[in-house]
Amino acid sequence: MWEFWRRHKRKLYTTLGVLGGGYVVYKVYDAWRCSVNDLEKQHAEELIKSQIQSHFVSVQRIADTTTLPHVMHLLDTRLSESLDLTHLMQKLLQAKDQPNTLSSAEKLELWNRLNVLCFTRLASSVWSMTMLNLFIRTQVNILGRHLYVDTARGIGSHSHLDDAELIDKTDEQQFLACADYLSNYGLPFLISDMEAATMEILKGKDLKVLFNDTVLSDTLVRIIHTLMIKDWVGYLIPEDAGRFKLIGPPSSNSPDLHLHAGKFELLMGETRAVLSSSEFANIVELSLRSLVKLVIEDLSSQCGENILKSGIPLARLIPRLAQMGQLLLSDPYKTRYIQVLKSIPEVELFFTVLYSTMPTS
């Protein structure tokens, strides 16, 4: 044994040195390879996050520049069709030029009817503009969160956004198209309930009673609050999301049909949960009061300095209300109102939290 060691120890030392060096080289190489893999994974994560952010910004831009203007224009058209006051105004003007065409009772009935419809139109416009603005922002933030979460789950196995399992484009388009639900389906029910709320709040108010800016603001807020006692979420989204198809469904031969329906229903379910939350109710209250304040300021400007502040008879205010109801959803008023609604700090905070928080169920 010792003779073997004596004769071959140089070779053994050399072999052990080579093996040891090889092991060190292997460990260095392994550490380098792990480092490279970590860098590649980090680069893939950065790339996917960048693509997600780019897509989310794109969706937000489309919502602000295309979806919201389209929805507001459609809403304005539908409201004008459903609450056209021209016929009543013409009958009252005709009665003024031809006093014998209507009795005093008939004139009073027309004035009272016009009064109710003017408040209904204005309150419906305020409510709808506020809600659609908040609704579309809710949609965009829910979509953005799903994009981020769905893609994050695929990090490590995908190197590009298109390879990750994201929300299908059809689901995304169909979900965003639901912003038209109010104008196309929910508006008749909103108008009917808003008219009932208006009649309840205006009951017993004589056309000669003086209205100042405070009384007018309080009246509008009370009308809207009376409406909000009802299940108002149904004006904005369908009860059964699975049966509501604004965009043609995928072919029945498609193997992804069930997946599409599930994703769409998931998005709609989360949206309903957000709209029904107490936190959303708080920002609705803040937004509605902010918009009512702006509308009253613009009405005061139209009536003349300090005239509305001092108080004017309700009968003289009705034509101004009718005009404001028509202008509210058109520029420049619409753009200014939407910008103010978007910049309310509590509203911005709400949507920041919504984007970053996973649903509880």
Rounded to whole angstroms, the Cα distance separating 339 from 86 reads 30
**Please, which residues have CB within 8 angstroms of residue 359's CB and are 6 or more apart in sequence?**
270, 273
pLDDT per position as a tens digit, 170-180: 777 888 889 99
With beta carbons less than 8 A apart as the criterion, state whether 116 and 199 touch. yes
Crossing angle between the packed helical segments 2-62 and 104-154, to the nearest 10 degrees: 170
Query: Both tokens of residue 61?
Result: 């831009």
Q: How far is CA 189 from CA 80, 117, 331, in A?
A: 15, 15, 26
Assign 20 a pLDDT band (cuts: 50, 70, 90): low
Assign 340 a pLDDT band (cuts: 50, 70, 90): very high
More confident residue, 255 or 41: 41
User: Which of 11-33 are b and which e, b meaning 16 or more Cβ less than 10 Å from the residue's Cβ?
Assistant: eeeeeeeeeeeeeeeeeeeeeee
Identify the pLDDT of residue 66.
Answer: 79
3-state secondary structure of 312: strand
Rounded to whole angstroms, the Cα distance separating 208 from 226 reads 24
Identify the pLDDT of residue 55.
Answer: 62
Q: How far is CA 250 from CA 31, 123, 172, 260, in A?
A: 49, 39, 13, 8
Is the pLDDT score of 238 beyond 80? yes
Dump strand ranges (E) for 193-348. Answer: 210-211, 312-313
Rounded to whole angstroms, the Cα distance separating 54 from 60 reads 10
Tell whether omega for the bond before 99 is within 30 degrees of 0, i.e. cis: no
Is the whole model's pTM more than 0.85, yes or no? Answer: no
pLDDT per position as a tens digit, 298-339: 999 988 868 899 999 999 999 999 999 989 998 888 989 999
Identify the pLDDT of residue 172.
Answer: 78
Rounded to whole angstroms, the Cα distance separating 265 from 250 reads 15
**Please, which residues have CB within 8 angstroms of residue 282's CB and are 6 or more apart in sequence?**
346, 350
Give start and end residues of each alpha helix (H) in 155-186.
169-177, 181
Mean pLDDT, residues 100-107: 83
Identify the pLDDT of residue 303.
Answer: 86
More confident residue, 66 or 138: 138
pLDDT per position as a tens digit, 178-221: 999 999 999 999 999 999 999 999 998 999 999 999 999 999 99
Assign 59 a pLDDT band (cuts: 50, 70, 90): low
3-state secondary structure of 130: helix
Residue 284 has φ and ψ, to the nearest 5°, of -65, -45
